[in-house]
Amino acid sequence: MPKEEIGTVASLLPGEKANILKVSGKVCLRRRLLDMGVLPGSIIQMIRHAPLGDPIEVKIKGYHLSLRKSEACHITVKRLK
């Protein structure tokens, strides 16, 4: 079954890259993400899940960032082939 092209960062598999479409959520979360470079148009790559399954580690703008799945749900992305 082909995977949905559009999803959230939380749904990416380790190694998958995606283009950020939208960052939503509460102001303080969104602001924080924007400041850390999580912006529409940036490329984000899923690296891994933490040993307990949450949080997740992603790569963006050349560095590694960790965020909880509940936060990653607010980042809408389009998967890159």
Partner 1 sequence: MSRIRLSDAKPNAELMLYKILGGMGMERRLTEMGLLPGEKIKRIDSPNNGPVVLFVKGAKIAIGRGMADKIIVEECTQKKIIKVALAGNPNSGKTSVFNNLTGARQHVGNYPGVTVEKKEGIAYCDDYTIKITDLPGTYSLTAYSLDEVVTRNFIIHEKPDLIVDIVDASNLERNLYLFTQLMEFGIPLALAFNMSDIAQSAGQQTDDNAMSELLGVSIVHTVGNKNKGTKALLDVMVKTYRERADKKNISVNYGREIEEEISKIIALLSHERDLIMEYPPRWLTVKLLEDDKYIVDSIKTKQGTDEITKQIESSRAHIKTIFADDAETVFADKRYGFINGILHETTKQNKDPRLQISDNIDQIVANRILGIPIFLGIMWFMFKAIFYLSEKPMQWIECAQGLIGSSISGLLPEGSLIQGLIVDGVIGGVGSVLVFVPVIFLLFFFISILEDSGYMARIAFIVDKFMHKIGLHGRSFIPMLLGFGCNVPAIMATRVIESRKDRITTILINPFMSCGARLPVYTLLIGAFFSERISGNILFSLYILGFLMAVFMAKVFRKFIFTGESAPFVMELPPYRMPTLNGLIIHMWERGWLYIKKAGTVIMLGCIIIWSLSALPLSSGGDLTKSYIGKIGKAIEPTVRPLGFDWKIGTALVAGVVAKEIVVGTLGVLYGTDENADESSSGLREALRKDTYPDGRPVFTPLIAYVFMVFVLLYIPCLSTAAVIRKETGSWGWMFFSIGYSTVLAWVTSFVIYQGGRLVGL
Q: What is the DSSP string of 35-71?
A: HTT--TT-EEEEEEE-TTS-SEEEEETTEEEEE-HHH
Could you tell me the two tokens for 1? 């079954």
Does 78 engage in binding with partner 1 (CB under 8 A)?
no
Minimum CB–partner distance for residue 22 and partner 1 (Å): 9
Site string for partner 1, 8-47 (x = CB under 8 A): ---------------x--xxxxxxxxxxxx-xxxx----x
Lookup result for tokens 């939380």: 10
Which residues in this chain contact partner 1 in the complex, by CB under 8 A?
Answer: 23, 26-37, 39-42, 47-55, 57, 61-68, 71
